[in-house]
Each structure stands twice: as C-alpha cells, then as structure tokens.
Structure 1
Amino acid sequence: MNNHEWAARGNAVFIGTYNRFPAAMVRGSGCRLWDADGREYLDFLAGIAVCSLGHCHPAVTEAIRRQAGALVHVSNLFHTQPQIELAELLVKNSFADRVFMGNSGAEANEAAIKLARIHSGPGKFEIISLSGSFHGRTLATVAATGQPKFHQGFEPLPQGFIHAEFGDPASIEALITPQTCAILCEPLQGESGVRPLEAEYLRAIRSLCDHHGLLLIFDEVQTGLGRTGTLFAHEQLGVTPDIMTLAKALGNGLPIGAMLTTEKIAASLVVGTHASTFGGNPVAAAAAVEVLKIMLADGFLASVQKKSRYFIGRLQEVAARYPQWATGVRGRGLLLGLLLTEKGVAQGMEIVEQMFAQGALINFAGNRVLRFVPPLIVSEAEIDALVAKLCQVFDQLA
C-alpha cells in the first residue's frame, strides 16, 4: 500500500486531532525515515525530541527484543529487574533519591503536581508556571501550561494553576500567596519557540522557592537525557530542582516517563496515593536502561556539545546569508531554533512544508522559529545536508 491508501484508511477511523503530513512512515534507521512510497527523509524532529539515539538503534532494539521474549508485563504489584536497574541509573546520575515511573511526560508532570500538593499540606495547592510553557495535554497539565490556545474549549480548568510573565522574577513573586506550593518551569521552553531560561533567571526562581518554602519543579521532558549537551539541562545552569520530570528520549520511542525527587519529599507519597498500571513496563524500562548506558558512555555528551557548536555555526551562516528570512539562532545543545523575520514567520508553515517536499523533517514552533531536534547521533555531514536543503527552500521562496 502507498501513502495515499494508508492515509485514506487512517482518516476513515481516527479522531481528527492531528494535522498529519501526507506520508505513512514504515521504516527508520539512524537519522533517516522511509515512507510507504519508498521516499527517504532526513529526520531533524526525532519524533519531537524522542528518538535521541536515532531510529532503531541496534543496542536498544536488541534490549527490547530480549526483554519482550522474557517478560512483557506483570504490574507494579511485583518488582522487575529492568525497572529497578533504570531507577538505580536515574538516581545515581541525578540529584534525586527516589523515582516514580509512568508512561509519558504528561503523566510525569501529573505525578509532580500531586506530589507538590500532598507534600506541602492542606491549603497549599497553587502552582505557578510561566507564560509560554507547555506541560502536557491532561486537564491538570493543560491548566499548568501557560498558553491560552491549549485551554480553549476545556474550561473550566482545574483550579490552582497561575501563570507568571516569562523572564520576570518579580512577576512570579507577586503571584505567591499562602496557598502556593510550587513553581513549575522548563529550563528551556521548546514548544513556544525554543526559549532558554537563563541561569540568572533560574537562580532567582530557586531563591524565591527557598525564601517562601516552595518546591521547585523542573519539567525536563524535552530538555532531559542529553538533549542540551548534559544529561539534564539544569546541570549546566547551576540550579537544582526539588522535583524533576522526564519522558520523551528516555525510551527512545517506547512510552515511558519518570518523576524524580529527594528522599524527604518522596516520603509524602505512600501506598495508595499514586499509581500507574503500565508505569515502568519491563520492555520500556529495558529500552531506557540501554539508552542511559549509551548516553553515559565516555564521550557521548561531549559529542553532542561539539555537534551543537557546529550546527549553531551553520545556522548562523544561514541567518547571515538570508537576512530577509532569519535573524539568528537560539537554544542549547541540539534543541535549536532559527529565529525568523516577520516575512519568515508569515511563511513559517510553508517553509516546513517545502522542507518536507525536499525530504527533510523540521517544525515551526511558537509561531516564531524553525525548530531542529535531530537525533543526538546526527553527523556533521547530515547537518550540512539539512542546511543545504534549507538554503534551497529559501532560494525557492525568495
């Protein structure tokens, strides 16, 4: 069957929540995808920052096969080896002492929200997040998300979520009340246009939490697991949270999420207060163990930093060559955005569609930037190929 036939079948049965490209992807390897028509694509989306080791990484694939042949599921009424090994790796390589596992970033953030409320005690339930933030699609995480477009049609939203102005610590402090229990933020906002939170700003947020007795929650669902050049983005910013959430890259394509915290805070969740039927599923956990082992190997994160510098340089060349389209680059590691001019913004989706026609996958984020989140194994040659396609599109649209 070809792309058109698969799309027709899908459109006949799915609820229309996605605006899909006219391609049915059937195979992947490294930074490449192939559709049902046999067309090849250079993937600089990585499943939206998920397949950070590329598609069908041999070691991850083997770990999945091996575990699927031994044990797929038994529920969290029992211990399983992959889940324990994964939790040990996360604790050993982070600030945290304890881990809760779910299936997605939204679930990890839900767990963090519940933990912040129960730990803070009666009457303290408000959580402050930032304008432009994105924390998930469940009702609570939608309410925490600081983008009104995601709220529309779902009101009334759960109470207790307040949004402060991005980049302004005074805006946060003005919103703190006796009911406030936590501040929730991403070290770098991906969905609203690749907006980094500077170290000074995060230090100010940490200080506010310490002064007012609040918990600091870092949503590292998109920035975590090597994406910004360190295992976790906050490591390079000198600010440590009380709670951290992970997902996306953790399973390199299999659904898994995690919420990490300290021993003292974790003690507030006792038997019966929270659960997840599939959380830490043995197959997903086995994949995640392999992912972490690869990322923690000598030289891996240094290679991400090196490729980041190279990619930033190439994108800066594009901005200099096409000032009518782009003004600069922002982001960290291999979570980068090419800032567009007004002309570029007006044709942002057209640029993405033309890149798709050229066989390259990117997206338009925050109505402001072209976002690039390639697999962390991307080569300089593949970066050059992506840049060449982007230049070709700009030349065509000129």
Structure 2
Amino acid sequence: MTGNAEWIKRGEQVFVGTYSRFPAAMVKGRGCRLWDADGREYLDFLAGIAVCSLGHCHPAVTEAVCRQAGELMHVSNLFHTRPQIELAELLTQNSFADRVFMANSGAEANEAAIKLARIHAGEGRFEIISLSGSFHGRTLATVAATGQPKFHQGFEPLPEGFIHAGFGDPAALEELISDKTCAILCEPLQGESGVRPLEPEYLQAIRNLCDKHNLLLIFDEVQTGLGRTGTLFAHEQLGVTPDIMTLAKALGNGLPIGAMLTTDDIAASLGVGTHASTFGGNPVAAAGAVAVLKTMLAPGFLDQVRERSAYFMERLEEVAARFPHLATGVRGRGLLLGLVLTEKGCDLGMDIVNQLFARGVLINFAGGRVLRFIPPLIVEAEDIDLLIDRLVEVLNGC
C-alpha cells in the first residue's frame, strides 16, 4: 500500500505550489480522528479549518450525501431541487433572513454579498468598509475587502471601492463613511488574524452607524456560523442583527457549499440574471447541509457545545497560568479559541504547531500571535484533556 512519502512525492510533481502542507497524506477520518497513509492516528483540533464541525464522516451527513448521489447529483439552477429548497427553508426559519443565494464557498458567498450591497445602494454608492485584520476570501474582490496587506501583495491593482478601518474604533470608522459608502462588512470574531472577538458594544456601534448613514451591515459568518461559537450564528449572542449574512465552511461538513442570506426587501435588488452559480447549492451538497443543520438544531446540541467550550477555556487558562513566559491568556467564543502567546511564544508558534503534529495533534498558528483551536463541535472532554496533555509536553520543552 502506498504511504505518505509516495503520495507526497506524486503531489509535489503536479500541484501549483500555493500551500505549505504538513507531511501527511490523510486517507480516513472518523469523528475527531484522522489517519494518514502510513496508518498514523491524529487528534484533529483543526477540523478542516472550521469545516468538519460534526466531525469526520458523520453518519447522518454521510447517509444523506450517499442517498442523494444515487438519486440526482446536478441539474443546475435552471431547475428547482428538493434538497436546495429544504436547506433554504431551514436557514430562513432559523435566522433573521427571508431569502438565500446558494454558492460553493465563503469567498463566493461574500462576492454575492458585495454585489448585492452595491446594486441595492444604487449608482455612485459602491464603497465597502471592512476592518483591519479581517479575512473575507481569496478572489480579487474578497482579497481587496480583506484587511491584511500580506494577502494583497503581488495582485495589485486590486478592485477599487474597498476601505479598511482600524479595529475597535467606531469614531475612526465613521470618518471613512462618505456619500460613496454602501455597506460595512465584518466578522463577529476575526479567526484568521488571531481569534479576535468583536465586543458587543463595538458591533452595536457599527450597527448604529449603518442605521445612521443608511448603510447595509454585512456579517461574514463563514467561520463563526453554524454552532462554532455556541449559538447557531455568532451574532445571536451579541445582540446585533445584520442585513446580510454569509455562511460556508461548516454548512456542508466537508462538501463545498456557501450561502448568502438577506431580507425580502434587500434581496429584491438582485433580479433574474444579475448573479448566478452553476454549482451553487447542488443537490448533493445541499442534502449534506440539510443533515448538518438538522443535527445542530436537535435539542441539546448547542448546549453541549457551550459546555465543552467552558471546559476547554478553563483548561487553556490553566496552561496560560502555568507558562506565563509563553502565553498571556485565552480568547475566543464557543469552540473557536486561541491561546495568546507572548513575544517569546510567538517566535515559537509554528514550532509548537509542528511539535504537536509530531505528537499526533493538529492545530494551527493564526495571525502570528495565537495558537488556534477549532475542533469538531462533537469533541469530548477526554479529547480536550489529551490535547492539553500534549500541549503541556511541548511547552515544557520550550
């Protein structure tokens, strides 16, 4: 049987080199565990970058996908399909939204939101303000919206109409609003820049600015949505409702699917032919997403996420207290948590990640400052304890 080394060698000969990959070819997953081509087992606290929130090969999702693949895989959006309609009904019944546009990814969902904001505002109002440290995707428009210059380098000139406001300063944000502004775009919690939560007061101030200046508020919940922070959508626990919301990642538990949600009034601005997606919400991905939502909406599921979050945060705070020369504390919500590192710890961040990988534990280093933990939402206390034990082993050697 071909092992890691052979698969890696073959892959390096054929792929464009846009990824820095771990030296493992994953071949099987179950729950919070992965196995590579050499048969090695890993405890997964990365979850496909916040995607496999029900764990790998969740039985309900697997059954729904296999059943649908045997019935109907694709017809395009020139036709109605049952799984897509069921999914849109679940999303609207459990959110502020009345209407849904289906896409294939978070970047595509954000593109749809950007186009909707511009066409709804009308001619001359096209600027969108986002926040420094934000991440909204890898297409040219969503890269331009992303408030991290490192993602812009080499792709200039970027599409115009995107402005970045300093993080946490509503007054500075308001100074950027002009008669060209149509929307403010933000994540309720910035994941990629280092697990930085936006406090409720800050989000409410942004909401107030949108209302004052007749702007749309867009929440990018690609990473924070679908139970990740302990409620179905992160904004629910923050007391602020957007006009548009984008989802992806956990929606399909591994299948490519995204969604842009909004109200009847705003959705009316996107008429027939103004936007489209050949594969968006295809029957197989939509069937999987229906199973995901039904599982997450079952009684007790989100309660358990919050319980696991409290326990995990407590254990991480113990680590921070034990290693003050390496960590300053813990931040995040739900099961999107970060161990904030000191200057010395930051220098060792990737080394810590790699040492954990060598011990069979998967996490990542976000924003050059934080060890990020995004396990499947079905994670058990025993899994958290094992992660903590391995992390302490590594930090003891730093």
TM-score normalised by the shorter chain: which range applies? over 0.9
Q: Which residue of 1 aligns with 2:316?
A: 315
Q: Which residue of 1 aligns with 2:45?
A: 44
Paired letter, 2:142? T
How many Å separate the matches in 2 of 1:9 and 1:270? 46
The reply to whether residue 196 of structure 1 matches residue 200 of structure 2 is no
Unaligned 5+ segments in structure 1 are: none
- TM-superposition CA deviations, 1:251-306 (whole Å, max 9, x none): 00000000000000000000000000000010000000000000000000010000
Q: Aligned-pair distance for 1:77? A: 0.3
How many Å separate the matches in 2 of 1:248 and 1:51? 8
Q: Which residue of 2 aligns with 1:219?
A: 220
Q: Which residue of 2 aligns with 1:392?
A: 393
Q: Aligned-pair distance for 1:325? A: 1.1
How many Å separate the matches in 2 of 1:19 and 1:32? 21
Q: Which residue of 2 aligns with 1:356?
A: 357
Q: Which residue of 2 aligns with 1:172?
A: 173
Q: Which residue of 2 aligns with 1:335?
A: 336
Q: Which residue of 2 aligns with 1:261?
A: 262
Paired letter, 2:79? F
Q: Which residue of 2 aligns with 1:368?
A: 369
Paired letter, 1:191? E
Question: SS of the residue aligned with 2:339?
Answer: strand
How many Å separate the matches in 2 of 1:325 and 1:376? 27
How many residues in Structure 1 have an aligned counterpart in Structure 2? 397
How many Å separate the matches in 1 of 2:160 and 2:391? 44
Q: Which residue of 1 aligns with 2:26?
A: 25
Q: Which residue of 2 aligns with 1:99?
A: 100
Q: Aligned-pair distance for 1:228? A: 0.1
- TM-superposition CA deviations, 1:298-337 (whole Å, max 9, x none): 0000100000000000000001111111110000000000
Paired letter, 1:154? F
Q: Aligned-pair distance for 1:185? A: 0.1
Q: Aligned-pair distance for 1:171? A: 1.2
Q: Which residue of 2 aligns with 1:68?
A: 69
Paired letter, 1:318? V
Paired letter, 1:153? G
- TM-superposition CA deviations, 1:177-213 (whole Å, max 9, x none): 0000000000000000000000000000000000000
Paired letter, 1:342? E
Q: After TM superposition, list the pairs within 5 Å mapping 1:155-304 onto structure 2.
A: 155-304=156-305
Q: Which residue of 1 aligns with 2:155?
A: 154
How many Å separate the matches in 2 of 1:34 and 1:321? 32
- TM-superposition CA deviations, 1:85-140 (whole Å, max 9, x none): 00000000000000000000000000000000000000000000000000000000
How many Å separate the matches in 2 of 1:4 and 1:347? 27
How many Å separate the matches in 1 of 2:288 and 2:57? 11
Question: SS of the residue aligned with 1:42?
Answer: strand
Q: Aligned-pair distance for 1:396? A: 2.1
Paired letter, 1:90? L
Q: Aligned-pair distance for 1:67? A: 0.2
Q: Which residue of 1 aligns with 2:114?
A: 113
How many Å separate the matches in 2 of 1:175 and 1:327? 33
- TM-superposition CA deviations, 1:18-51 (whole Å, max 9, x none): 0001000000000000000000000000000000
How many Å separate the matches in 1 of 2:129 and 2:343? 32
Q: Aligned-pair distance for 1:73? A: 0.2
How many Å separate the matches in 1 of 2:22 and 2:238? 37
Q: Which residue of 1 aligns with 2:130?
A: 129
- Of all paired residues, the percent bearing the same amino acid is 80
Paired letter, 2:63? E
Paired letter, 1:294? T
Question: SS of the residue aligned with 1:132?
Answer: coil
Question: SS of the residue aligned with 1:278?
Answer: coil
Question: SS of the residue aligned with 1:328?
Answer: strand
Question: SS of the residue aligned with 1:260?
Answer: strand
Question: SS of the residue aligned with 1:329?
Answer: strand
Calculate the aligned-residue CA RMSD, in Å.
0.3
- TM-superposition CA deviations, 1:52-101 (whole Å, max 9, x none): 00000011000000000000000000000000000000000000000000
Q: Which residue of 2 aligns with 1:58?
A: 59
Question: SS of the residue aligned with 1:27?
Answer: strand
Q: Which residue of 1 aligns with 2:382?
A: 381
How many Å separate the matches in 2 of 1:363 and 1:170? 34
Q: Which residue of 1 aligns with 2:91?
A: 90
How many Å separate the matches in 1 of 2:137 and 2:197? 19
Question: SS of the residue aligned with 2:154?
Answer: coil
Question: SS of the residue aligned with 2:24?
Answer: coil
The TM-score with structure 2 as length reference comes to 1.00
How many Å separate the matches in 2 of 1:272 and 1:136? 24
How many Å separate the matches in 2 of 1:226 and 1:33? 22
